[in-house]
Structure 1
């Protein structure tokens, strides 16, 4: 008899999957990149049934293994494709090329067909009592499963590396477009990637250590509880993410104060290496964005983005990014924070307002972000800067 807590947690996990999948897919605009997440959740739900089917429905266990075994090979590519869609910098859709990532599902389906033909007694020995397989057919099936499981573990490790690499590129791309990383949408996206990594580290380490030590590291109830929390968190933040953060925006270079600079906007989608910008044009752009920051005090806008600066300055986002990276040697995030830190210095010395008040006043969304940026810029915390400069003036 399955433990009551295991049955309750399994039911809760299945309920979470059943409720979440339709909600994730209901919006047609986000369906393309959310479909891999829906597949991942469905596979998790099917695999979670392994905790109760052999105990509660033993007569159906062979059918369950036939259906459940291929689900294991849906997890890696589905999660990888979801993270890829979520962090994409161009319009992302599923294609034949992306579907090639499900390469292991085909041999897994072949093994499932062999499972379906396995005599009930040999199936019990192989999957329930964990006895040595008897007969050539069962030995071949066990060998094929072992090979596939080794390939799956390798795929798990590869997935973790791919997600980590994607995360680093994603963070760099966010800093190239946003001036604050404390925005709720960015927070949700970062938590999504973090939880995805946690899920994979848990699954990989549990499978590896259990095989190495010959017994499970956690109790079945503990594993189900952790899985429930992680999957709930994953779906919670996924539902808050209405669209990929780096989805292409309309390249509007129209200034709010004048006409667009067509000489700088033309060909903005080209790569830096193909850009026709020379030193004179780069200097002009630096002058434009400097005046935009000074005259309009754009840095005070906590929601300032590269697109907004593009609209005010009349320079295309592509050229702005190029000039910031190649001429000023900084990304958009650091460029705006530099202006905010400079504005905060006079406020720190001229008033006794709290650090949090000043941080919010100059465009930061959080005290921690202000401290980190200020320390990076000056080598001091805001409090240390205030004390040192006040004492020096006295």
Structure 2
């Protein structure tokens, strides 16, 4: 019996990582929280996925041929489980309706229906014979190929559909945070969006390679590169998700609603007056230097309701709260970098940023240079002028 040693090691490592993460998620701090339950479910499904692959690459299928493929209906729940985990993490008063639960079962049910004829009508001996080109039955092999193709397409379609839904939840969550807070780095979960993109891409490649392998098409990285990428992503996801602090209610967002055109309730003169108050609060009182500044705090400071400020920002100033505050912070940082010898860290905090990493990102996005490069450029200009 031949064993693919390297893939066996990789899939064993995936199973080990998933197992350790399950233990930490289930029994660690905050394990009773709802989002932790969904996280555990996601990790369990990943471990089942890894175990199914491990049985194949290690040659274990020879001992349990009737179990091969039975993990497919369960692994098709990965996409829905990931989506429900994202909902429980980001949304206030999150409740999964009966309809959403039924829809989540559609993909796995289709996989089960596709796989059932192969599972019930093909004997263990016939399944083992399919593994060897010299002993396989051509007609039965074609039947197996069609079964693999249909289940793979359903798995991929279901997973990408729910990954996209989770991605859109995170995007809308981030957009809502930007309406109310000046510092969103720890609450926006940008890492989740990146993980979803990368995992969607890897599993698309996995599904393509899985099918091509059955028709005899191989490439130099077949069975090696994609499992390694999966392992790296699993390690990254386990680390980031287990270390993600629970969001408090003020940093969670409302259930997304269908987009509707916003109707202005303030007249232009009123918005102009509010805009003048905002400029005074920033330019004269320097409220932007408060690194915990929020829409609520600003509302209290200038005695204007949060809704009126938000409308003025979107309809009159054409920006959101996050963009307004960070624009003033970056301008202050530019002034400090050009006129003082304060360290970059000191400049970041004096400008109102909570961390150097947040400062560097905001500054680079706004100016096109890192803070140190901007300071160096100013020094060169001043030297030439002198």
Same fold (TM over 0.5): yes
Cα displacement (A) at 1:310: 3.4
CA gap 1:374/1:18 in 2 versus in 1, 3 angstroms: closer
Within 1, Cα distance between the matches of 2:248 and 2:129?
50
CA gap 1:217/1:244 in 2 versus in 1, 3 angstroms: farther
Within 2, Cα distance between the matches of 1:86 and 1:373?
28
Cα displacement (A) at 1:275: 6.0
In the alignment, what sits opposite 1:369?
361
Decide whether the 8 Å contact of 2:31 with 2:37 is kept in 1: no
In the alignment, what sits opposite 1:10?
11
Decide whether the 8 Å contact of 1:40 with 1:78 is kept in 2: yes
CA gap 1:30/1:311 in 2 versus in 1, 3 angstroms: farther
Cα displacement (A) at 1:92: 2.5
Within 1, Cα distance between the matches of 2:38 and 2:183?
29
In the alignment, what sits opposite 1:277?
266
Question: Residues 155-184 of structure 1: CA distance to partner in whole angstroms, max 9, x if unpaired?
Answer: 455456555555544443343333235x34
Q: TM-score, normalised by structure 2?
A: 0.76
In the alignment, what sits opposite 2:257?
none
CA gap 1:140/1:51 in 2 versus in 1, 3 angstroms: closer
Within 2, Cα distance between the matches of 1:249 and 1:295?
32
Decide whether the 8 Å contact of 2:173 with 2:252 is kept in 1: no
Cα displacement (A) at 1:204: 0.8
CA gap 1:316/1:240 in 2 versus in 1, 3 angstroms: farther
| 1:206 and 2:206 matched | yes
Say which of 53, 62, 65 aligns to 2:66. 62
Decide whether the 8 Å contact of 1:133 with 1:142 is kept in 2: no
Moved more, 318-327 or 108-117: 108-117
Number of equivalent positions: 363
CA gap 1:36/1:316 in 2 versus in 1, 3 angstroms: farther
Within 2, Cα distance between the matches of 1:249 and 1:215?
46
Within 2, Cα distance between the matches of 1:208 and 1:173?
37
CA RMSD of aligned residues (A): 3.8
Question: Residues 340-386 of structure 1: CA distance to partner in whole angstroms, max 9, x if unpaired?
Answer: 23433443444233455323321233352353255179xx9454456
CA gap 1:4/1:274 in 2 versus in 1, 3 angstroms: same
Within 1, Cα distance between the matches of 2:203 and 2:44?
16
Partner SS, residue 91 of structure 1: coil
Decide whether the 8 Å contact of 2:80 with 2:159 is kept in 1: no
Decide whether the 8 Å contact of 2:337 with 2:347 is kept in 1: yes
| 1:309 and 2:298 matched | yes
Within 1, Cα distance between the matches of 2:225 and 2:23?
28
